Every structure is written in structure tokens, then in C-alpha cells.
Structure 1
Amino acid sequence: MSKTTHIANAAAPVMAPLHRDGRYRNHVPMHRLGFLKTLRLIWVSLFGKPTNTRPAGEIPVLALSRQQLLAAPNNSVFRLGHSTVLLKLRNQFFLTDPVFAKRASPVQWAGPQRFHQPPISLEDLPSIKAVILSHNHYDHLDHMAIKALIGKTEHFLAPIGVGDTLIEWGVPAAKVRQLDWWQSTEIDGMRFVATPSQHFSGRSLRDGNQTLWASWVMIDNDQKIFFSGDSGYFNGFKQIGDRYGPFDLTLMETGAYNVDWPDVHMQPEETLQAHIDLRGRWLLPIHNGTFDLAMHAWHEPFDRILALAWEKNIAISTPQMGQPFYLDYPTRGHAWWLGVEGVVESYIDDAEQPQGSRHQA
């Protein structure tokens, strides 16, 4: 039983999580690799990864200061790395899946290492109204970051079970709100809904799927934002879109995919379809550009999703780390990753050509 109950029931759920024998399960049975494939994957991950899974050059990062963030206009969105996104809404700050550690790993001497420094340190962040967590994997839930954020964060929103981990780490129970799928909570008039995703959880060999995973819907009057967390492609995106869409912005997982992981991560084609299912207006790809978590080239997710979006005439933005995206005046940003590999000397940049307000997109 969850230790916190500061939640409100939404309408009758379309898709409820499956919970049996103390563990959560997806509605679609997980794809099993088998012993030999698993052994080969571990071997390649440790000793045989292609060199292009890490950038050849330096990832460009726009440094941010607390003063800049406080002076930034309302409805600003800043990518800080991987799935860590800082949103300024109603002149308050909301932070998704904060990971500031050098490695997405249970130890800091081994495991996937960051490609770049965060645009701003934990210490320099302004006060955070709410931290929004999708699940408990190391590239989404950073113990060091949570400890550092306790004193400057008013609320922590988490799927069921993840909040109990926060409390064990020292977050006061009164700050933690744990939600089941389709449950919602309000913070100063903004509504947050925990919505389904297709993934898994665990931080050790013994706690697999004992806590829930989720995506999130954020509603600020007529403005709506979707944060995917991690997910394979499934019909839940269509259900969320039918219930809460259209969305002004979707922050969508696009990276760390593999043909052998179809149930828990999306190929870029599936990311685009999920955005369409959600009835999204602008797509901002996340879960890329920070950690080496798969066998594909580090820049491949950007290349593929950008080409697909242009082919389908989907409004997409690819800001570099620290670069603001303005919900009221969205722009495409530029293909900054091309310069990292020395492909081009100058970037394709239409940042000075606004694509219209969020109501026109």
C-alpha cells in the first residue's frame, strides 16, 4: 500500500495497470530475448559497442543561470539533458525526471557516462514547484539529484511505489503525491494526470516491476503538455489523445531503441505515430543526446525523427541542451548535432522564423 494518498480519481479508467503477486505488468506480454541473445547483448554492451554510440566532438550546451531562468518568459521549456526538462509555467518551475549524475548507473565508477554537463547545476536551479517522475530507472531517477532537490522543491509527483522510494531517501511524506494511472492531482490550479505507458521498473535484481511506470499529462487552462517518460508503442497513446488531446507540446521518448526491445522503447517511426495518436501540435524529442544506452549511433534518433517529421509535415523542434523552446512562439531550432560530428560547418537554423503561436500551430 502506498504511503501517500494525495490524489484524486479521474473518470473510470480506460486502461488500468495490471498488478499481481506484488508486481506490475504491461497489457502486452514482454518480448523475451532468450539466453543466447541476452548473453550476446551483455557482451556487446561491455566490449563491442560501435564507436559512434558516443559523440566524436563536444555536445553544444547553452549555459543557464538562475537569473536567466527567473527572467525567462512564461511558458518556456528547457532541455537539460536526456529526459530532464525544466518547464516554466505560471511563473513557477516544474522539472521532469531530474538526472544530474555523471553516470546513469547504481555506481559512479561504471555504467553509461554523460556526453555533456547539465546547462545548470542543481545548486543554481531556482525553487521548483514540482518534480515529475515517470519511473525508477537510473537514467530517470537520480538519488543524488533528489537529495539535492528536497530543500528547494515543494511537491514530488510519482507513480505508485516510486514515492515510497523518495520517502526512504528523506523526502518528507507531505511533499510526495503518488498516483495510479488516470489519477490526477492539482497544484495551484494546474492539473497533472498520471497516464499509462508500456515499460518496466527496477533498480536492482530483486525489485523488478514492484513500482509503477507512467507518462504524464499537464493541463494549464487551455494549454496541454504531454511527457512520455519511457514507453514502447501501444494503444494507450490513442486513449490518452482521445481523452486529453490535442496537446500543444509532446515531450516524446526518441532514443535508446533496439529491434529486440519493441515492448519498452519506441523506434522513431513509432514515436512519430504516438505523437499523432496524442493529437500533438509540436513534437520535442527527448531521451537522447546525453547517455550511451543502445547500439545505434548517438545522433541517429535526431536524424531519423527529423526526417520523418519533415516527410509527414509534423511540427518538430530540436533545441540544443539549455536552449529555450517557447510554447507561445514555437520554432524548429536547428540540427545542432551535425556540427558535433563535423558533418557541416554551419547549421540549418530557422530559429528566427517563428512558426506561429501555439494556437496557430
Structure 2
Amino acid sequence: MHRRTRPFSPGFQWVRRVLLLSGALLVTACLLSAAKTNLPVAGYANSPQAADGRFRNPAPKPADGLAKTLGILWNVLLNKPKTTVPTAPIPVDTLTRAELEAAPDRSLFRLGHSTMLIKLRGDFWITDPVFAERASPVQWMGPKRFHAPPIALADLPPLRGVLLSHDHYDHLDRDTVLALAKTTDVFLTPLGVGDRLIAWGVDASKVRQFDWWEGTTIDGIQFTATPAQHFSGRGVFDGNKTLWASWVIVDGDTRLFFSGDTGYFDGFKEIGRRFGPFDVTMIETGAYDAQWPYVHMQPEHTVQAHEDLRGRWLMPVHNGTFDLAMHSWHEPFERVLALSEARGIPLATPRMGERLDLSAPRVATRWWRDVEAANASPAVIAVGEQG
């Protein structure tokens, strides 16, 4: 006798198809992206961060295991709460090239996620520029922007330089980089990331690559690549082939810190000892989860890192633009606000496109609360349902 097997329920079959299709699409997209990149693996064996052909963090990453990895994927694909995406518009202060050119020195404009446009000594510098609709190897799937950039890519004034922290898609957008390369003087990157740019067609004479604690001085402004605890890769097989970093910017008596992506680690204290105190620290506060504490920080870690760095004003970044985690889109702002207030830390939370005076920052409006109030409005919900 043949034993009859119980058929999978329609719901289970649908879930299985979604998982298989999503996984296949993601792998295909990453493979295509890696093939398009054609990354020449440079010889960085002498770097203290390199071992066995890949870069690594000083503290080994705890093993996740297959069960944990599958559990994270299951939650991301099937258990996402609706609150990870705002249902009302994010406020954006539209910028023009004329306004930027007229802005005083030491102005900062947040363009979204980890993209900051900074004016120093009459020239513009930009961090991790991403103007793409999606933070993804392809533009037909992946995390979609909550808001348009405050200024179109083509309307940006010529840039003195681009600072890149690592090569993940929400920090390094190929099309954006290639567009900027036409009017940008220099690209400052961690080791290996510059090789990607050159492989994409960026003039090698514009690219400068640095290990941790290395840097350069341009027009009297000091740029130093400093440690971070993260990882890298844009395809399936190129994991940790490029280095990741945070950045220290020193312009006379003004000191800035840009974290890129990082988990909390002892390096913040050493950076603070060598370069602090900082006037403004731009530190990731978003896209975190209790299941991946090693490579991203909870808001408590953000505030502690700011104190380790001996920072004055804290500006939380890596939030408000892409849906990259399981928490509510506005949760990072509320948590870091409560923590900073409890510790007496001034918090700068400018709207997208709003000018921040780096010489004299001020407390901005809590704009995300207005968005949430609109989210709860029956009129807004009705409009959303009709659309």
C-alpha cells in the first residue's frame, strides 16, 4: 500500500513560492550586478584589516547559523509590519543650485538616508550619494524611497569631492557615481571601493583609496578614514573584498564625524581620543534589529558612540528614506530623542533638504511627528485607499 501524503495547504504553497521566487530574484540580481562590476581584486594583503584575501573586523562576527538566517529572511518577507513605511508624505525642503551656491560655508543639507551635502571653503562634498529610486542592484525590486531627493542629481553644483563609506547599495549607487564623475574632482574611498569605481569607468586619477587611520588634506581640509564594524559586498561571491570605514573631517576649528554603517565597538573611543571632540557627529540610527547587533547599532549604541567620540551635537542618519528593517520608520527618531534628552545631548534632526549650520546647529522641529499625525488622519487614509 502506498501511504497517502497530506497535500500542502494553499497558504503554505503560496508562502513557499514567494520565498523561492524572492530568493531566486535576489540571487540573480546580485549575480548580474557582480558580473557588471567586474571588480579587479587589488593586492591589499599588507593591510592590517586583510586576511586570506578578504577584509575583516578586529572583533570576529558571531556565527549566525542557518536557522537564524532563514528566520530573518522569513520575517523580512512575510512578517513586515505596515508601519515600516510612512503613509503620509515625508516633508522635503526643495533645493535649487542657486540656493546651494549662495549658502554660507559650513552648511550641511541632508538629502536622504546617509547622503549629506556639505559646503566647506566654497566647495561641496557629498557622503554616500544615492539618488536611485531603490536601494537595490536592480530598479524593479528592492527598498523604494519614501521621498524624492531635495534636488535632482543633474541640478547639483560641481562637487569638489565624494566620500564613500562602503559599497552596499544604500550607500553606493552606480548610476549616481557615474553621473557625478563628470563634474566631481575627487573620490575618497576605503580600500577596494575605489577599484569598483575605476572598473565602472571613473577616471583613476580622481580616485584615492585609504586604509583605516589613513587620509589626505585637500584645500586645507583634513579627511581621515577611520574604523567601523561592518561588512561589504554587492554580489554573491564578493563578500568583504572591499573595506568599510567611517570618516573624520577637520576644517580648521570645525570637526565632523560620519559613521557610515557600523555596529557599536571600542573603536569609537579611540577615534574620539585621536580626533575629538567633534562639533557634529553624523551617526547611523536606523535599519537596526536585535538579531543583527554586530553590524548595526540600536539607538542606545548611537548615543553611547556619540559620547565615546566626545561629540557635541548628534545628528542621527541612515533613516527616513528606505525601508531596511522591521522597526517602524519613525521609531529611530523617537528612541534617539528620548535617550539624548535623558543624557543632555543636543540633537539635530533637520528635514530632508533643510540647511544645518555646522558652526551653530539648532534643535529642529520634530517633523516625523507631523507625518505620523497625518498618517492617523482619516482623510489621509481615505486618499491612500483610493490610490
TM-score, normalised to structure 1's length?
0.90
Pick from 129, 142, 145: which aligns with 2:160? 129
Pick from 105, 119, 139: which aligns with 1:88? 119
**Alignment coverage as a number of residue pairs:** 335
Pick from 169, 172, 187: which aligns with 1:141? 172
Q: Over aligned residues, Cα RMSD in angstroms?
A: 1.7
When residues 2 and 280 of structure 1 are mapped into structure 2, their CA distance, relative to the original with a 3 A threshold, is farther
In the alignment, residue 79 of structure 1 is paired with which amino acid? Answer: R
When residues 71 and 181 of structure 1 are mapped into structure 2, their CA distance, relative to the original with a 3 A threshold, is same
Residue 328 in 1 paired to residue 359 in 2?
Answer: yes
Query: Displacement, 1:3?
Result: 6.8
In the alignment, residue 162 of structure 1 is paired with which amino acid? Answer: V
1:308-359 alpha-carbon deviations (Å, 9 max, x no partner): 11110001110010001101221011110011111799xxxxxxxxxxxxxx
- Asked if 2 retains the 8 angstrom alpha-carbon contact of 1:75 and 1:88, the reply is yes
SS of alignment partner, residue 119 of structure 2:
strand
Query: Displacement, 1:30?
Result: 1.1
Residue 174 in 1 paired to residue 202 in 2?
Answer: no
Query: Displacement, 1:31?
Result: 2.6
Query: Displacement, 1:2?
Result: 8.0
In the alignment, residue 93 of structure 1 is paired with which amino acid? Answer: F
Residue 183 in 1 paired to residue 214 in 2?
Answer: yes
Query: Displacement, 1:20?
Result: 1.0
In the alignment, residue 197 of structure 2 is paired with which amino acid? Answer: L
Q: Identify the residue that residue 28 of structure 2 maps to in structure 1.
A: none
In the alignment, residue 199 of structure 2 is paired with which amino acid? Answer: E
- Structure 1 residues 1-361: aligned runs within 5 Å: 17-342=48-373
SS of alignment partner, residue 341 of structure 1:
helix
SS of alignment partner, residue 281 of structure 1:
strand
CA distance in structure 1 between the aligned counterparts of 2:130 and 2:195, rounded to whole angstroms: 19
SS of alignment partner, residue 252 of structure 1:
strand
1:139-198 alpha-carbon deviations (Å, 9 max, x no partner): 000001001101110000000000000001111000000000000111111110000000
CA distance in structure 2 between the aligned counterparts of 1:39 and 1:86, rounded to whole angstroms: 38
The percent identity for this pair of structures is: 59
Rg (Cα) greater in structure: 2
| Between 41-50 and 331-340, the greater mean CA deviation after superposition | 41-50
Query: Displacement, 1:48?
Result: 2.1
Once superposed, which parts of structure 1, at least 4 consecutive aligned residues long, lie more than 3 Å away?
1-5
In the alignment, residue 177 of structure 2 is paired with which amino acid? Answer: I
**Where does structure 1 lack aligned partners over 5 or more consecutive residues?**
6-15, 346-361
Structure with bigger helix share is 2
In the alignment, residue 336 of structure 1 is paired with which amino acid? Answer: W
**Where does structure 2 lack aligned partners over 5 or more consecutive residues?**
1-39, 377-387
- Asked if 2 retains the 8 angstrom alpha-carbon contact of 1:4 and 1:176, the reply is no
- Asked if 2 retains the 8 angstrom alpha-carbon contact of 1:31 and 1:261, the reply is no
